[in-house]
Structure 1
């Protein structure tokens, strides 16, 4: 329409305006699809955006690339062929942006690479985006390499199926191998968060021959975040080759992370332990990882002890009550006699978490006697946690145990000299009343 072409003419005249105006224009043109008449006419926005993507001001080029990405997604398949396939409009701009002198512009291209790839189709991806992506993976700026590394799995998934494997093996994997030993930990960490996903794309044989050595190298990386990202994505490789291939290298990596000086690293590995246990199996777990899980229960950081308690509950849900009775419960109950009152309290927290998963018999015969005995503890904090525990495990116990064993102890605690013990004992008595 005449109105539409008038708007485009104004855009061209504005290209020579102040930087502030150019920035606003570069940012807003990506939202102008409906204003120029819808997807049918969206190609008219390409020339002004192409010009904006070449101006001197970095932030303007940055926003122009983002707007190009937006409008490229709004072209119909036919328009893609007509306006994008010739590569005379967008590809020179994208190539230029991917090699821009400003790292921020290159970063933006890397960060939005998957969207650009989906928008331009398989032929342009194969001929133009693959070389551009290689360059971004080798960029001199770590931020750009990290952004590109983060897109490796997505980029490979979106490659044309007929020659996907050949492109990855020939063009992408050599870059990935270099990034595994990158000097920047953020780059290595970004890669570690996605590299395991390549195993499902490349299949069993390629994974064993080409990817497995990279996984093993990253499991030994000096940076804990790299090791953690590999471990947190083990399910991908487990589906393809089975986790046993990694088990010998996994163990030292897990142990190091479990004992890392940063408590947040220790916390993260605890949260992946149920997943690891399920994949490695009960025998491997009992032999190699059980001791670690118990050690976390006496960590000096409360958040670790709390997470370790939750971890035990998930392990019991995975391996069953019989396993818990033979493996976990005796060790937990043994902590009731620990000289450190914090460790004695951890026994109570574990009982709270495990009672339901372990069931009535184990709770009544093994756990309850220990809780009742701890009601005589010299530390008030332990005694009021006994009251809270008795209320917590109450629903798992039968009414006879509640009436003859639990209630008398709670009534005794309700007359305790400590105000907090009294309060929680009275709360527990009220809480179990409906169960009697």
Structure 2
């Protein structure tokens, strides 16, 4: 039996334009987009007057902590928060316990998600210094890509053997995503500050320890290697103005072999916020200066940076309350990323069309995600309605993350997500979830 939903009178944002219209969904797919679609029997109608309709965000970098770290988060809790935040698809990282560094361990994560994820999902295969043979078995059609840590964000997933690194870059045609921070620089800086402060290093030194130099050294080296080997490289979470000049904007996205991402926290916070927020905004790479933030925005707007993501990485408050050297880096963001970007739309920093391009269209293009990321007939109905005139404040009472906190606590947003459709199903409706239906494994046109 066909299940039909008609979204009427929406301000539809898609492919650099905004137009008022209706969208008809049948089962999983968008079947018609028009200025006006007449209402027929057995169709559920949603009046979207005054609201924006955007494609669901595709978040290309999250850490949902399952398996092995589920005291912090799990796929069910974090995908639920993501859907409430307008994220309909996510790509999760391999640094769980055990790490997803064999095909069997990778498939174990897909199996968990098939039963528990509210959003559509994919997982990256983790490269190490000694798993090239296993890495090359990765199926490009149903796995998002390869993830390499070139800085020790996650202990023994550090790939620091240059011969191995070149072999990985030379051997796979799959998209390689990298975390770029130079390990030797970070260790040297850490020892210097530990000598002065012991373990209780003031947070303001975090961006000096994990410095511009550490980021630039690593990202420039990765880019040089990609150019040498012809690898398809995607550089995660840029945090410095200097790094943005390593990337091109003089060719179409589809022709780029080297692409870049920026995360919401690097677009929102600066080092001035450490005094108030402390370890709650301790990320790797570090939140840096106002100049860096402005440089990241400039590069995002002129298309040197291609994607906005979250790097959602929850930890418990108890863990975060440790001294500097023991407090883990990362924070929860999926529930608030889209509304945070919409706040920057209100401030006139970015247009809605550009925001949708960076959060929805470009991840679909870069990863070649099948039939998602756009509002198009024949595409999956992954859709989000946003009310641009509904104020709300982030508080403990409305946070959905398992860790129970947010770096945005106390922030008043002036836009609110009211409805989220995943594969044509209304999963989130003004605070209420349909918990019966789960997301699908993402497929890729490769």
Larger CA Rg, structure 1 vs 2: 1
When the two structures are superposed, what TM-score results if normalisation uses the length of structure 1? Answer: 0.29
Higher relative contact order (CA 8 A, sep 6+): 2
Structure in which a larger fraction of residues adopt helix: 1
When the two structures are superposed, what TM-score results if normalisation uses the length of structure 2? Answer: 0.29
